[in-house]
Structure 1
C-alpha cells in the first residue's frame, strides 16, 4: 500500500526536507518497501507528460567526452556555462552531446546550434579548440548571428549551415538518472538500427518503422533535458517537440509525419516555442486537432491566467488561423526519487487539462 498521509517523506539522513504530501498525492506513492524506477512509477500512475518540454528559441549541442558528472556543467569543458544562455538567436538550451567516438579523442570539439525560424529551423555547425575556444564561440554567438563570418584565429571555426535538419535528441545521461541512462541509451541504439535498416533497404515508399523523407537524420545522445520520469524521452527536430516513453519506430513516424497526431499527442511533452506548463498543454491540444499541417505554420503562443484557469491563444498569423484553448489545473501527482524505498523523498507536480478549444475566425 502507499505511504500513509502525513508519514515522514524524508528517510533519516536524507539531505532534503520536504513538507508532507496531500493525502490524495501520497496515495499515489509506491509501497513503502518498494523502490521502483521513477519512469516505471510515472507510467504506472498514468502521469501526463504535457507541459514539461524545454522552452527555448534554440538548442546548442556541445560534444563533451564521457564520462559526464552531475550536473554536466561541472565538467571542465563547460565551466562557466549554464543550462539556459542568451544568444543572438534567442534563449538557448545548452546540452552536452556524446562525441561519435564517445571518449572524444580529437583535439577539437564540435558544436551544433539549431534554432527556430518561422515554421522551421536553421542549423549552424562549428568546431572549437578546447575550453577557451568554446567560450569564445559562445561569446561570438551571443553578439552575432550564427551566419556571420567567424574571425580568423579566434579558436573556433564555422563548418556548415543547413535548414530544417532532421535530428533526434535523446537524453542518455545515466549520471543524472538511471532511467535516462538505460532507457535513453536503448532508444538511441534502437533508432540508429532503424536508420541502418532503412538505408540498407534503399526504398522510397513509406514502410513501418523507417523514416523515408529525404536527407539525413542525426541522432544525438545528450545530457539531462528534464523529465527523466518520462524516459525514454527525446526531442525531434525540426518540429521542436519533446516526447515521453517513446520507441524507435514511433520516432521514425514522427520524423516522417506519418504518425497519427491525435494518438501521439498524449505522449508529447510539449513544443519548444511555448512556455512550460499550461501553454504547452494548450498547444498540444491544437496539434492533436490540426495534425502535422500545424508544423508548417509559424505560430505564437500567448496566455493569461484567470483565477485557477488559463486562456491560451495560439496564433498562426501568416496562415490566417488562430485558436483559443481553456486550460485548468488537473491532478497533483508525486514525482518520486528513483529507486528509493517508497519513492521518497517525493515532490508534487501539477498536471493540466484542456476544458475547451475553439478556432477563431480571422
Structure 2
C-alpha cells in the first residue's frame, strides 16, 4: 500500500499509515519464553483478564514472571469461528522455549474447568518439563499440529478488528479443515501497527501487514510452505526465538536458504553493540553475571544501539554446525502513527543487514549469551 493510494477512511488506522510509510515489520516480533492461549468466549474487553473474576490473577503474571525468573510470557485469549465455549472444558495451549538452540517451541495442551485455569498456568510456568498435577487434563496432540493465531482485538486497536477479522475468516474458511492445522482469532499480542498480525506456532514465526494485493498467493505460500519464500519477506515480523537484531539476521538467512531453514536449530546473540557511556559499561558488566535476567538486561541495552554485530549459530538436520556474523545498522527512519484514531506520531528507525562472514561455531561459546 503506497501513501498516494491511502484513502481518507484508511488514514484513521495505524497499520494502513505504517504500510503506506514504508515501515518494514522485521524485528518487531518480540522474543518469547512462553505463549499461553486460553479459549474464551467473545467479545474481548480491553482489560481482558480483569473482566473475568476467575482469571483476574493472570493479569499480573507476565510482569511477575519477568521479575522473578527473567522469562517473557505472552497470555492471549482465543476462540474458533464457532465460539463454542464450555466453562467445564476450557482449552489451554502452552508453547514454550526448549533449552539451547531450537527450531520449534515445545507444546502442551489441556482441557479443564475454568476454575482451575489459573492454578494450571502457575504450575506449568514453574517448570514446563515437570510432570504436572494437571497431567490428567493433558490432551494428546498429534505430531505436526500447527496453530495459527490472528489478532482481531478491536478494543485494543481499531486496526486489529478492521484488518484482522477478514484475515481470520479467510484463513478459517480456506485452511481450518486441513489435517493438523487450526486457525484461531486471538486477543492482542503486540504490533497493531502491522495489523493484520498472525502468530504461527510451533515455529514461532510472526507476520504482519497481511493485506497485500497478492494475499491469496502470500497465504498459500505461508500455510503450505512451498514455492518462493522470498514472497513472504515484506510481511515477516520475525522469529520469536530471538531478539530484534537476531530476527533481522535470521530473516536474511531464511530467505537465502529456503524452506530447509525451518528445520535448523538456531540461536542468536549480540557480539558487540555500538554503545557508549553508562550503557556500554553496564553491557560489559552484565556479561559476567549468570541467569536470564542478566541476559535480558544485556539484550535491552543492546537493542538501543544504532549499530551492532550479531552472531547466529545453527545446526543443519545432518548435524553440521555453522554460524554467521552480520552488522546490523540503522539506515533510515519512517514517521508513522502510534495508534489508530489518534494524532500521535512516532519516528522509528529502519535497519540494514550486512553479512560479514560464515564461520564455524566458537569452541566453548557461552550458552548464556544466546537468546
The alpha-carbon deviation at position 244 of structure 1 amounts to: 1.4
Q: Is 1:37–1:338's contact at 8 Å kept on the other side of the alignment?
A: yes
Partner residue in 2 for 1:113: 94
Q: Structure 1's 225 and 319: CA in aligned 2 closer, same or farther, altered over 3 A?
A: farther
The alpha-carbon deviation at position 338 of structure 1 amounts to: 4.4
Q: Is 1:191–1:249's contact at 8 Å kept on the other side of the alignment?
A: no
Partner residue in 1 for 2:303: none
Q: Structure 1's 147 and 216: CA in aligned 2 closer, same or farther, altered over 3 A?
A: farther
Q: Which has the higher strand share?
A: 1
The alpha-carbon deviation at position 187 of structure 1 amounts to: 0.8
Q: TM-score, normalised by structure 1?
A: 0.76
Among 86, 97, 112, the alignment partner of 1:128 is 112
The alpha-carbon deviation at position 113 of structure 1 amounts to: 1.1
SS of 2:161's equivalent?
Answer: helix
Partner residue in 1 for 2:160: 180
What aligned pairs does 1:187-266 form with structure 2 within 5 A after superposition?
187-195=167-175, 215-246=179-210, 247=215, 249-266=217-234
SS of 2:49's equivalent?
Answer: helix
Partner residue in 2 for 1:71: 47
SS of 1:173's equivalent?
Answer: coil
Q: Is 1:42–1:230's contact at 8 Å kept on the other side of the alignment?
A: yes
Among 270, 295, 312, the alignment partner of 2:262 is 295
Q: Which has the higher helix share?
A: 2
Q: Is 1:313–1:325's contact at 8 Å kept on the other side of the alignment?
A: yes
* CA distance in 2: counterparts of 1:193 and 1:151, whole angstroms: 34
Q: Is 1:64–1:99's contact at 8 Å kept on the other side of the alignment?
A: no
Q: Structure 1's 345 and 330: CA in aligned 2 closer, same or farther, altered over 3 A?
A: same
Partner residue in 1 for 2:121: 138
Q: Is 2:221–2:229's contact at 8 Å kept on the other side of the alignment?
A: no
Q: Is 1:38–1:179's contact at 8 Å kept on the other side of the alignment?
A: yes
Match status 1:324 vs 2:325: yes
The alpha-carbon deviation at position 292 of structure 1 amounts to: 1.8
| 1:58-94 Cα shifts (integer Å, max 9, x gaps) | 3110112222111323332431224737499x64321
* CA distance in 2: counterparts of 1:187 and 1:69, whole angstroms: 21
- Which runs of 5 or more residues in structure 2 are unaligned? 276-305, 362-371
The alpha-carbon deviation at position 339 of structure 1 amounts to: 4.7
Q: Structure 1's 113 and 316: CA in aligned 2 closer, same or farther, altered over 3 A?
A: same
What aligned pairs does 1:55-94 form with structure 2 within 5 A after superposition?
55-76=31-52, 77-82=54-59, 84=62, 86=65, 91-94=72-75
* CA distance in 1: counterparts of 2:157 and 2:216, whole angstroms: 20
The alpha-carbon deviation at position 121 of structure 1 amounts to: 3.5
Q: Structure 1's 31 and 181: CA in aligned 2 closer, same or farther, altered over 3 A?
A: closer
SS of 1:72's equivalent?
Answer: coil
- Residue range with higher mean Cα deviation, 158-167 or 109-118: 158-167
Partner residue in 2 for 1:353: 352
Size of the aligned set, in residue pairs, is 312
Q: Is 2:21–2:335's contact at 8 Å kept on the other side of the alignment?
A: no
* CA distance in 2: counterparts of 1:322 and 1:128, whole angstroms: 43
Query: Pairwise CA RMSD of aligned residues?
Result: 3.2
Q: Structure 1's 273 and 170: CA in aligned 2 closer, same or farther, altered over 3 A?
A: same
* CA distance in 2: counterparts of 1:120 and 1:106, whole angstroms: 31
- Which runs of 5 or more residues in structure 1 are unaligned? 1-26, 200-210
* CA distance in 1: counterparts of 2:50 and 2:258, whole angstroms: 41
Match status 1:36 vs 2:35: no
Among 79, 93, 98, the alignment partner of 2:79 is 98
Q: Is 2:87–2:113's contact at 8 Å kept on the other side of the alignment?
A: no
The alpha-carbon deviation at position 257 of structure 1 amounts to: 1.8
The alpha-carbon deviation at position 278 of structure 1 amounts to: 2.3
Q: TM-score, normalised by structure 2?
A: 0.74
* CA distance in 2: counterparts of 1:225 and 1:50, whole angstroms: 16
Q: Is 1:278–1:352's contact at 8 Å kept on the other side of the alignment?
A: no
* CA distance in 1: counterparts of 2:32 and 2:338, whole angstroms: 27
